[in-house]
Amino acid sequence: MTATFLHFTPCGLVFDVSGIVLLGFAFFLKTTESMIEESGTTWDSKAYVIVAAGKCDGIFGSVLLFLGFVYQTLGYVGVESSNTILASYSALIIFLFAYFAFVRGWLIKRWVGNIEAKFREKQP
């Protein structure tokens, strides 16, 4: 008999919690300064930086939630594969580390660069 955490249902819950945390970054961890920026109430507002961060967290949080629901469904119907679950936990840990260390910042910079390029195109 395998450990409880090596079933798809708890693995799915771990993915769901990870997804909720990322979605929470997009909405609940905004500082007063970022809310002022986003509302455009400053002279040099760059609200698109905050929107890009929210988009990034929203995309990856939603993907993790979706994977969590898929894993819970697999557990509910009785599918078992300890090796797949261990690989999934490992992949999740690696992904979350890479996301916070590199991917999130890189994507935000890329999207902000694209937005600023659009602004430059529109200026006479």
Domain that holds residue 29: 7-122
Domain count, the chain: 1
Identify the pLDDT of residue 39: 62
In a domain, 19, yes or no: yes
In a domain, 1, yes or no: no
Identify the pLDDT of residue 86: 93
Comparing 124 with 89, which gets the higher pLDDT?
89
> What percentage of the chain has pLDDT greater than the value 70?
82
pTM for the model stands at: 0.80
In a domain, 96, yes or no: yes
H or E element that contains 7: none
Query: Which residues, 6+ apart, have CB-to-CB distance to 66 below 8 Å?
Result: 19
Token pair, residue 17, equals: 């919690």
In a domain, 2, yes or no: no
> What percentage of the chain has pLDDT greater than the value 90?
44
Averaged pLDDT for residues 50-58: 85
- In the structure, what pLDDT confidence band is assigned to residue 49 with cuts at 50, 70 and 90? confident
